[in-house]
Amino acid sequence: MKNLLNQVPWWLVIVLSITLGLAPFSPQPHLFEKLQSLSRGELKQLVDIFDLLFHASPFAIIFLKIFYRFF
């Protein structure tokens, strides 16, 4: 896993985080809407949970790249 993450360039992960992670941008980023729905307990359908994981995945990759860099 560490080798696979090292092969992904930083610029690509950052571009994915900005575009996929935050799109659509108005009225607020979609990821933030999904996180608010999760905190209120409104994510009950499988498609909503998948959507949350899909939009959060670039940020998870950034976290894992940073984690594996130091450990």
For the segment 5-60, what is each residue's pLDDT rounded down to a tens digit? 999 999 999 999 999 888 888 888 989 999 999 999 999 999 999 999 999 999 99
Can you read off the two tokens belonging to residue 3? 């080798």
Q: How many domains would you assign to the chain?
A: 1
Residue 20 Cα to chain centre, angstroms: 8
Instruction: Provide the domain limits for residue 51.
Output: 2-70
Q: Which residue has the tokens 């610029």?
A: 11
Specify the pTM: 0.85
